[in-house]
Structures are given as structure tokens and as C-alpha cells.
Structure 1
């Protein structure tokens, strides 16, 4: 499977909006640049007319120029190493690749080799969820990371003392990458399974469920998350824009989930819910 890379040049205020809109078109990896951002999507999923329609809607408000190229799967790590810098979440979490220098004095160091999987800590959604995880007791709890990408949130849960961590994703590339990243962090997951939450037919109960996906999927799958969530358990959600928060909260309330805390960064929301 090859990927399509889109280099977008636009005025700064519109980069966040376009990233959110492109997320709805199944682009799942973004990197900011000095002139805008880069976005990546599996070639088989790419819909060029839909992308042109999206950009044409905003061209009345701002300048947008873009170029696209195919990135062979085997070249993905090389592309990332050119642009991938380590990140810090406050002074508690340090996320790096194997080719970065370690910081043993940071309480939680996570090693991630992305391999085209979403979730490196750079995107606002992942960054915020990592920060929120620090505020919830994970000790001896069973954790499920849905749409896990690189596995970064499950890895963080393990480092916070979880009894077990499990992960799911719909992409075989993510499954392969998550296994690699668990190994790099010396973590043995309960399982890493491929498929949607509906397809996997899971039956265990989890004290913490994490889902960093997108608005459409969260609305479609939240009832299933709720079935798998233990009483008084916590559900972490992100991958949606601030304008989508009301419908996320409305469904959560209907399911008996209450908002504990939310954060917003560049209009991306991270939400912590509790089952009551």
C-alpha cells in the first residue's frame, strides 16, 4: 500500500480548519510546516475530487495552493526522520524515536517509531490526551485503546501502572507498528487486534477506554465503548473539532456518561468522561 502526501500552502488561521476538514476525508496524519502543513492518506482511500471541492469552498476566503506526490510505503520512515522531532508534554512526558537521545530524568519516556501510523504526540489531540492521562489513576486497571495508531496512548497507560493494555485499529500497518512500539517500550499488550469495535465483538470490561479517532467514528461507536466501560470507568475521547463537541456531549449524556474535564488546543478537543 502506497500513500499520498499533500503539501498545503495556506494562510495560518486556515491551516487548523483545513486539517479538521481533511480529517473527515480520511487523512489521518498531519505535520505542520512553515507555509502550512503536510497531510497523508492511503492511496486507495484518496478522493482527489472531494479534496478539490473542499479547497474550492475556502478559496473565497484565503489563498490555498497544494501539491501532491506518492510516497511508497517503504520510504515512509525516511520521510519522518527528516521532519520528526521529539516532543515534551509538560515536564512529565518525553516522546522520542529511537534515533533521538534519551532523557532518563523525565518520569515518562515513550519511544515511538511512527511508520505511517497516527499518534506521535505532535498532533494536538494526542498531546492533550497524554496530558489528561496524567490526571487519572491507571494503577492496576484494564485499558483499551481504540484506533490506537502507533499505540502511544496504550503505552502511556502501561507506564502509568495499568494492569493490562489492549489496542485495536482498522489498519494492518498500524497493527504492525503498534506491536513494534510496545516492544520498544518493553510492554506486553493483552492483545492488538485489527478491525472496528463493532467487528471485534469484545466482551471484557475496561476501567479506562481511549479513543482518538474522528467525530463520525466516535458518534458511531460511542455506545459500544459504553458497553465495554466498567461502572465508574473513564472514557477519553479526541479527534474532533470544538464545533463538534456539543453533539459528542449530547450522545455521552444520553448514554449515562458525564463530562469530567475537557481541554482545547488549536480548536481540537480532548474530553474526559466518567460512567455514572
Structure 2
């Protein structure tokens, strides 16, 4: 498959992270930063369908990108070069198969990203992983919405969750979630599905992990609330501080009360809970 790389100069690391999150809503499959330049990789055949929207988004931020066609690469080698292990509060190590195992007493999730978003390096994935460790998921059934690599679904299962459903709109992500779940010994307890919130009709979950973006979260929160058990937990990330009031207000309208809030590098996490009544 032929790829195109979009090169965007970024003023600082925070701008690079924000832009990565924005571009992840399009069919970009891998990201790396190099000397103030964000590189976003996309299959050439999928660029035409979104290029105008991507350019408009960049323009609204006062940025301009340059598209360069690239030859087929060894993508695993690319990830190996740009994917150091991620440590979460001394409690969890997210690593690739080529990294050293976690120290004794530290949980680990082993993933090979293969172009999917969600390696733990982005602040929102780190926040979600930390919250999952604290959520108390043992014996409960959950949903990883916008699963990427499946890292959160896998982590929940390793923390004792009974079953997990992992949903993403990207077929690469769905396949990668299946591969990673199997590699971590939890493949039989993960149902990985290609699609969006329309797949939730008629399903029920004890907790939902959704690391996407503000607009999709606001649009899909009614579906989350409808499928969430009474007293169930909804953990959201993928947005900034200015988005919190709109999301908490939407939650209140749907009978979801704010339990907690976390922040990392400007990115936010909200923990909501469905009322029992």
C-alpha cells in the first residue's frame, strides 16, 4: 500500500499533541514528531476523501502542511524506532514485544501498534489507563469506545473485568485490537467490532471508556447513557479544559453525575456515573 506523509511544523509539543488528536479523527494511521515537525501517515487512496477538511482544519489553526508521497516502508521498524515504553505511575508499563518486561509487581500491557492510535504516549491514553487502574472493574463488563490498539480494553481485562467490547471506525484498529488482545492472553474475552455508536443499541455495560474527542463524545453520550447500567461508570477523555462545561452539562441532562476529573498536559478526563434511580 502506498502512503502519503503530511508534514506540519508545530510551535511546541502541546500544539503537536493537539494536532495529533485532531488528525486522528481522519484516516491517518501513524504519527511521529521530529525536530518540531509532526509527521502524519495516511494511505494515499484515502487522502482524497479528507484532504479538503484536513487543510481547512489546519488553516483554522494558522498552520499549513506539506504532503509527500513515500515509498513502502517497514512500518514495524518505524514503530520500534519511535515507540519507547510508557510507565504509568509506577503501576503499569505499556510496552512493545521488543521492550524489556515490567519489573516484578508492575502490571504490563504488551502491544504492537501497527498504525493504530493509542500507544499510551498521548496524555489522554495515559489518563485513561490511570483511571482504569482505579475504577474497580473486577467482574464487570465494559466497553472501550474508539479502541485504537485496544490497550484500554486489554488493561481492563487484566484488572479483572469479565468481558470487553472494543469498537472503532478504523478497520486497522479493530484488527490490531484483536491481535493485541490475543498476545496478552485475553483474546477470548474481547469482542472487537468495526463501527460507531450505532452498534450500541440493545447492549448493556457496567462501565464505558471513551477516549475520542469533544464533538463525537457530545453526539454519542445519549447512546452511552442508554447502554450504561444503573450506577455504571462513564470515563471520558480526548478534550481540553474549555470543553469540560459542555460535557458535564450534557452528562447531567442524561442522568450522569460527575465523580471526578483529572488533567495531564492540558488534556482532561471526566469520570461520570449513571444515577441508580
RMSD: 2.4
- Counterpart contact for 1:94–1:106, Cα < 8 Å: no
Listed as ranges, the gaps of 5+ residues in structure 2 are none
- Cα deviation for residue 193 of structure 1 reads 1.4
Give the aligned partner of residue 226 of structure 1.
225
In structure 1, the residue corresponding to 2:160 is in which secondary structure? coil
- Aligned pair in 2 of structure 1 residues 231, 29: CA closer, same or farther (>3 Å)? farther
Instruction: Decide whether the 8 Å contact of 2:144 with 2:166 is kept in 1.
Output: yes
Q: Give, in angstroms, the shift of residue 15 of structure 1.
A: 3.0
In structure 2, what is the equivalent of residue 69 of structure 1?
A: 68
The correspondence of residues 182-261 of structure 1 with structure 2, limited to 5 A, is 182-187=181-186, 188-198=188-198, 200-261=199-260
Question: What is the CA-CA distance between 1:20 and the residue it aligns to?
Answer: 4.8
Compute the TM-score of the two structures, normalised by the length of structure 1: 0.87
Map of 1:118 onto structure 2: 117
Q: Is the 8 A contact 1:10 1:65 kept in 2?
A: no
Equivalent residue for 1:51, pick from 28, 50, 54: 54
Question: Which moved further from structure 2: 246-255 or 74-83?
Answer: 74-83
Cα drift, residue 191 of structure 1: 1.5
Is residue 39 of structure 1 aligned with residue 68 of structure 2? Answer: no
1: CA distance, partners of 2:47 / 2:7: 17
- Whole-Å separation in 2 of the counterparts to 1:202 and 1:142: 16
Which residues of structure 1 form unaligned runs of 5+? none
Find the counterpart in structure 2 of residue 151 from structure 1. Answer: 150
266-275 vs 65-74, greater mean Cα deviation: 65-74
TM-score where L is the length of structure 2: 0.87
**Residue deviations 1:198-242 (CA, integer Å, cap 9, x gap):** 1x2542321111111112211111111111111111001111222
The Cα shift of 1:24 comes to 5.6
Local SS of the residue matching 2:189: coil
Distance 1:121 1:156 in 2: 11
SS where residue 95 of structure 1 aligns?
Answer: strand
Is the CA contact 1:175–1:193 (under 8 Å) kept in the aligned structure 2? yes
Distance 1:74 1:181 in 2: 22
Point out 4+ residue stretches in structure 1 off by more than 6 angstroms: none
- Looking at structure 1, the residues matched to 225 and 240 of structure 2 have their Cα atoms a distance apart, in angstroms, of 21
SS in 1 for 2:251: helix
